[in-house]
C-alpha cells in the first residue's frame, strides 16, 4: 500500500521533471513580454490555482492539488530562469562601497514601491496587484541569477508592475542594489527613512517563530524540549548567517544546503554539538512536513 503510493509519487515526479526539462529549453527566453510563453505552462504543472488577472497557464491544470494553493509569488519563485540569466553569480563583494552605492540606487529607484525597509510597503506600491514583493525578506532565500533576472526584466512576463531595469541600471548597479537589499533583510544596514514602510522587524519575526514552535508542540509534532532546542540553535544559525553572508553566498537560493553548511560550521566552531545539529534537522523536517513551518 505505502509502496504503491511511493511508486505513483515517484512516477509523477519523473513525469513532471521530464516535462520541465522539455519546456525550459531556449524558447522560454524568446518572448519575455508575452504572457503565454512556454514558461507559463511549465509553471502551471507545479500546481496552478485559481488566479485571476494573470493569464498564466489556465490552459493546464495538470498539477492541481500538488503542494497546496500556490500564491502568485510562489509561482514566480519557481518559474524557470531564462537561459541567458542562468548561472549568473554576483561578482561584487558586499563591502561598504557597494552598500553605499546600492543604498543610493535603492532610495532613488526602488523604495517608492518596495518601501524603505524592503518589505513591499512603499507608497507607490499600495494599490498594485500583485503588491511589491518584500524583497528584504525574499532576497535572503533567492539566488543571484533569479534576482538579477527579475530586476533586469521586471514583471512583463508575469503581468506585474515590477519595472525592467536592464536599460536603466548597469550590471554593477543591479549587483549593488541586490547586495543592499540582502543587507537590509539581514539587518546589516538600517533602512533610510524617506518613503516610509516597515523595516524587517526582528521582534515580530521572533514572535512569529515562537508561535510556530508553540503550534508544533500543541499539535504533538514536537515536544517542548525540542521546541527549546530548535529555538536555541536557530538563533545561533541566524547570527552566523548575518556574520558570514559573503561566505554563504554560494548557497543563496538553496536554503537546504545553506542550512546544512551553517550547521556544519557551527559544529566545527564548537557552538553546538553534532547531536544538536542532527536533532535540529530532524525537528525542522517534521515541522515542514506537518505544514506548520514553511
Query: Which residue in 141, 194, 151, 143 sits closest to 172, CA to CA?
Result: 151
**Of 81, 162, 184, 200, which one interacts with ligand HEC (CB under 6 A)?**
162
108 or 214, CB closer to ligand HEC? Answer: 108
Query: Which residue in 81, 26, 75, 36 sits closest to 57, CA to CA?
Result: 36
**Footprint on residues 66-95 left by ligand HEC (CB under 6 A):** 76-77
**Of 28, 44, 56, 177, which one interacts with ligand HEC (CB under 6 A)?**
177
162 or 293, CB closer to ligand HEC? Answer: 162
Give least dist CB 32 to ligand HEC, A.
Answer: 12
118 binds ligand HEC (CB under 6 A): no
114 binds ligand HEC (CB under 6 A): yes
114 or 284, CB closer to ligand HEC? Answer: 114
82 or 130, CB closer to ligand HEC? Answer: 130
Give least dist CB 235 to ligand HEC, A.
Answer: 25
82 or 216, CB closer to ligand HEC? Answer: 82
* CA 33/CA 21 separation, integer angstroms: 22
Question: Hey, what's the cell of 71?
Answer: 500564491
**Cβ(278)–Cβ(285) under 8 Å?**
no
**Cβ(139)–Cβ(185) under 8 Å?**
yes
* CA 166/CA 271 separation, integer angstroms: 43
32 binds ligand HEC (CB under 6 A): no
182 or 241, CB closer to ligand HEC? Answer: 182
Which pairs from 7-16 meet CB under 8 Å and 24+ separation?
A: 16/45, 16/46, 16/63
163 binds ligand HEC (CB under 6 A): yes
* CA 285/CA 265 separation, integer angstroms: 20
Question: Hey, what's the cell of 243?
Answer: 556574520
* CA 110/CA 239 separation, integer angstroms: 27
Piece of 18-26, 125-133, 207-215, 270-278 that binds ligand HEC (CB under 6 A): 125-133
113 binds ligand HEC (CB under 6 A): yes
**Of 132, 143, 191, 197, which one interacts with ligand HEC (CB under 6 A)?**
132
CB within 8 Å of 84: residues ≥ 6 apart: 29
- Examine residue 294 and say whether the peptide bond preceding it is cis (omega within 30 degrees of 0): no
150 binds ligand HEC (CB under 6 A): yes
- Applying CB under 6 A, which residues contact ligand HEC? 76-77, 109-110, 112-114, 124-125, 128, 130, 132-133, 135, 138, 142, 147, 150-151, 155, 158, 160-163, 165, 177
Amino acid at each position: 500500500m505505502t509502496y504503491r503510493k511511493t511508486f505513483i509519487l515517484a512516477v509523477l515526479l519523473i513525469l513532471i521533471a521530464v516535462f520541465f526539462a522539455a519546456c525550459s529549453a531556449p524558447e522560454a527566453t524568446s518572448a519575455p513580454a508575452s504572457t503565454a510563453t512556454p514558461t507559463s505552462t511549465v509553471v502551471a504543472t507545479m500546481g496552478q490555482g485559481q488566479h485571476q488577472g494573470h493569464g498564466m497557464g489556465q490552459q493546464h491544470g495538470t498539477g492541481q492539488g500538488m503542494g497546496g494553493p500556490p500564491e502568485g509569488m510562489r509561482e514566480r519563485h519557481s518559474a524557470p530562469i531564462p537561459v541567458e540569466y542562468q548561472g549568473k553569480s554576483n561578482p561584487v563583494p558586499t563591502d561598504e562601497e557597494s552598500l553605499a552605492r546600492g543604498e543610493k540606487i535603492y532610495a532613488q529607484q526602488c523604495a517608492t514601491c518596495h518601501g524603505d525597509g524592503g518589505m513591499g510597503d512603499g507608497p507607490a506600491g499600495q494599490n498594485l496587484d500583485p503588491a511589491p514583493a518584500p524583497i528584504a525578506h525574499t532576497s535572503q532565500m533567492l539566488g543571484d541569477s533569479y534576482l538579477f533576472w527579475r530586476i533586469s526584466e521586471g514583471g512583463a512576463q508575469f503581468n506585474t508592475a515590477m519595472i525592467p531595469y536592464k536599460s536603466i541600471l548597469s550590471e554593477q548597479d543591479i549587483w549593488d542594489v541586490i547586495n543592499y537589499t540582502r543587507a537590509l533583510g539581514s539587518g546589516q544596514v538600517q533602512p533610510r527613512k524617506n518613503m516610509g514602510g516597515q523595516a524587517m522587524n526582528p521582534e515580530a519575526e521572533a514572535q512569529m517563530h515562537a508561535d510556530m514552535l508553540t503550534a508544533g508542540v500543541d499539535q504533538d509534532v514536537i515536544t517542548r524540549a525540542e521546541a527549546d532546542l530548535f529555538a536555541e540553535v536557530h538563533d545561533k544559525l541566524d547570527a552566523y548567517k548575518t556574520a558570514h553572508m559573503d561566505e554563504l553566498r554560494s548557497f543563496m537560493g538553496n536554503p537546504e544546503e545553506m542550512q546544512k553548511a551553517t550547521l556544519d560550521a557551527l559544529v566545527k566552531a564548537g557552538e553546538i554539538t553534532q547531536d544538536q545539529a542532527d536533532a535540529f534537522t530532524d525537528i525542522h523536517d517534521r515541522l515542514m512536513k506537518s505544514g506548520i513551518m514553511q
